[in-house]
A = this chain, B = another copy of it.
Amino acid sequence: MELFSRACQVIPGGIYGHTTPALVAPTASPYYASHARGCRYWDVDGNDYIDFMCAYGPVVLGYLHPEVEEAAARQRRSGNCFNHPSALMVELAERLIELIDFADWAVFAKNGSDVMTWSVRVAREHTGRPKVFMVDGAYHGIGSWCTPEDAGLTVEDRAHTHKFRWNDREGLKELFSRHGESCAALVLTPFHHPLFGDSQMLDPAFVDAVHAQCEHYGAMLILDDIRAGFRLDVHGSHRPFGLRPDIACYCKALGNGYEISAAVGRHELKLAASEVYFTGSFFGSSVAMAAAMATLNIIERDEVPARLAATGEAFCRGLVTLAEQYGLEVKLSGPPAMPFMTFANESNFHRSQQFVETALAAGVFLHPHHNWFISNAHEDADVAQALQRVRPAFASVKELFDC
C-alpha cells in the first residue's frame, strides 16, 4: 500500500489496465510483484501464492522456465534489437506455418492489440470493405474499433464495428443480412471469456453458421487466439473447435512471458498483408523470438496442452468436490486449461469475491471475474496444496452467505 500510495502520485490510477488490484479484490489482492518461479508468485510483502493467473496468460510453462531462459540468454549475447531482423524471424515464421495448418505467412509485433488491429486492416484492404463484426462483451485489445471503454474515442472510431451475441445464430444472420455486403471481417475468440461471466464454448451449429455467413458474403474470419493460443492445442485453438480462420492472432503464451505477438494468415491475404504498413521499434527484436522458438518446441515436445487439460481437470474436480463438502454449488466453465469458477445462482459475484479474498489470504492466486490459467509448472502436488489452501475460502462463503 505504501508503494501504491507513491504510485497514485505519479501514475494515473496508480496501477492501470488489466493488472489493477481493484479488479481482483481491492483489500486482499497483492498490488506489486516481487518475484516468481514455476507456478509460485511472491508479492512485495513476502506473501507467496500458488499462481493460477500466470501473469494473465503469458506464463504457460511456468515462470523462468530454464530452457526458455537459456534460449533467450543465448540470443541476448548477440543482441536484441538491430537495424534488421535476425534469422530467427524467418525461422519463427516457418515454425508457425509448420504448426498452424491454414497459415501461409506470419508477422510479429509486441502486443496482442498490435496484431488484432493490423489484421482488421488487412481484411479491410483485402476485401475493400470497412465493417467488422465482433461478439458483444469480447475483448480484442485497445484498438479504437474494439477497446472496451468509450473514454477518449470519437463517434467515427466505432462507425464500422457491429456486435452480435455469442452462439446467437439468428442474430448473426440478421447482422449479415443488414451489413454483410460491407463486412470485411468477423472477429471471434475460440471460446467466449467475458469479464464477469461464465466462459462459454462454441456451439457447433454456430460454427457452421459463422463459416456459412462468412463464405456467402466473402467476409474474412479473424481468430483472436491471443488468450488461448498454444494452451489448448499447439496447432492453434481453431483446431479443437473446428474453426477455419483466414487470419489468427497470438500473443500471451507464445514467448512464455517474453514480449512478442504474431499474426498468421492464408495465402490469399498475403498481398494485402504486405500493403498494410506495420512497424514498431521492437517488432524485430530477436530475444523474444528465441524465447518463442523454445516455448513452441517445449509445448510440442512435452504435449503441454494435454498436460494443462489434465491438471486443470483435476483442479476443477477438486473444487467441485470441496464445494460440495461445504454444501455449496459451483460452476466451472471454459476449457480446463483455462477454467473459471462461479457460484451457482448468483449474479453479483459477492460469493466469488469473498472466495477469492480468502483464497488470496491463504496463498492461492485466483480471480473472481476473469478466467484462470493453468501452467505446465503446476504439478499434482501444487494442485493438491492449492485445494487444501482454499478450504477456508469455501468455509467463509458458506458462513457469510449460508447459501
A residues apposed to B, CB below 8 Å? 3, 6-7, 10-13, 15-19, 21, 30-37, 41, 43-44, 51, 53, 55-59, 63-64, 69, 76-87, 89-90, 93-94, 97, 104-107, 109-114, 117-118, 120-122, 124-125, 130, 141-142, 144, 147-149, 151-157, 159-160, 226, 251-252, 257-259, 270-286, 288, 365
Contacts and interface: CB of A to CB of B under 8 A. Distances in A.
Contacts of A156: 130, 156-157, 159-160
A16 B121 contact: no
Contact of A81 (B21, B58, B106, B157): B58
Q: Ordered nearest first, which 8 A-B pairs have the shortest CB separation?
A: A17-B279, A121-B152, A33-B82, A35-B78, A12-B274, A12-B273, A156-B156, A152-B276
Given A122-B152, A152-B276, 18 more contacts: A6-B90, A12-B105, A13-B273, A16-B278, A17-B278, A19-B83, A19-B84, A32-B86, A33-B84, A43-B84, A117-B144, A125-B152, A149-B275, A149-B276, A151-B275, A156-B159, A226-B281, A257-B285
Contacts of A10: 90, 93-94, 97, 104-106
17 contacts: A3-B90, A12-B270, A17-B278, A33-B79, A35-B78, A36-B79, A51-B83, A55-B81, A64-B79, A69-B76, A80-B258, A110-B282, A111-B280, A113-B114, A121-B151, A149-B275, A154-B159
A148 B278 CA distance: 10
Q: How many copies does the complex hold?
A: 2
B277 A84 contact: no
A188 B57 CA distance: 37
Given A90-B10, A278-B142, A280-B142, A30 B84 contact: yes
Contacts of A149: 275-277
